[in-house]
Amino acid sequence: MNTNYKYRGMTGQLSTTLVDEMPGETLGEVATLLEETLKVHRSVKNAVLCTKEGVVVASIARAGEIDPRIVATVSSALVWGGNSALSHLKSRGPTHIIHTTTIERILTIVQPHYHLVVIISRADDAGLNLQSLIPLFQSLATRMELVMGSTPAFGTQTILGTIVEEIPEVTRGVLLTIDGLPLGSVGFKDEVEVSALVSSLFANGLTYSEVTNTISVDTEGTRLLITRVDDSRLLAVVCPGPNPEEISQKVRLLLDGGAA
């Protein structure tokens, strides 16, 4: 559920996907840090805090409207892809990613469990040296990571982490964008290929109906469950054993309960 709010004159949107309600103290701290992010430079138009799997925690805007869910999903997919690309180059994962368009620069600061996404208008960035400001954005992102990590209701749990913890039979799964870019995986070494295949399967369902929610592929003793998490993400889970239907039901119940 998304709740619009105002904080010190700034407008923003809070997503309660992670838990039923963000504690007021945590909301205040996150809102203050997001406000500080906007104040870094006049060209900063939006700031989004999301999990590494692309779940929006909170967002704040100086002006205009964006869909923070799309921003979070795309940024998380870029981070995953950047990690994969750098691993092939025998390098560490990215500390930040800059996505440039003709009208904006989108800076994603990478933290262990949360990402800070900053949208900068190129129409207002005259004289801006973005590289010199990255340490400041990183400091703000680190403080947000600490705030969220110290909140028991949030912590660092993820969709896949929750499913594996709550359903021990599940040892393989992948969270991906609806276009087939992996956001997180468990038990797969070839998650890029798996994500592409899963997305292709689901796309066939969408060809029949745009409101397709779930596709299951069954063989004896195993079910591949592909289910929609939200408008931009899919979850694919291997449900093994003599009763894969029971495991599938448990997965769907966890998702319906808002696991993040």
pTM above 0.85, yes or no: no
Question: What is the number of other CB atoms lying within 10 angstroms of the CB of residue 24?
Answer: 8
Domain range summary for the chain, segments of one domain joined by + = 2-149, 159-256
Q: Report the DSSP pairing between strands 96-100 and 104-110.
A: antiparallel
Tens of pLDDT, residues 170-208: 999 999 999 898 888 888 888 889 999 999 999 999 999
Whole-number average pLDDT of the chain: 84
* Mean pLDDT of the 27-33 span: 87
Q: Above 80 in pLDDT, residue 88?
A: no
Closest CA to 127 of 43, 36, 37, 35: 43
Pick the CATH number of 159-256 from 3.30.450.30, 3.40.50.200, 2.60.40.1840, 3.40.1280.10: 3.30.450.30
**Is 2-149's fold the same as 159-256's?**
yes
* Mean pLDDT of the 142-164 span: 76
Q: Above 80 in pLDDT, residue 222?
A: yes
Q: At what angle do helices 244-256 and 159-166 cross, to 10 degrees?
A: 130
Pick the CATH number of 2-149 from 3.40.630.10, 2.40.50.140, 3.40.50.10740, 3.30.450.30: 3.30.450.30
Contact 228, 213 (CB under 8 A): yes
pLDDT, position 44 = 94
Could you tell me the CA-to-CA distances from 187 to 217, 228, 258 in Å, in that order?
18, 20, 23
pLDDT, position 56 = 86
In whole angstroms, what separates CA 89 from the centre of its chain? 25
Tens of pLDDT, residues 234-249: 999 999 988 999 999 9
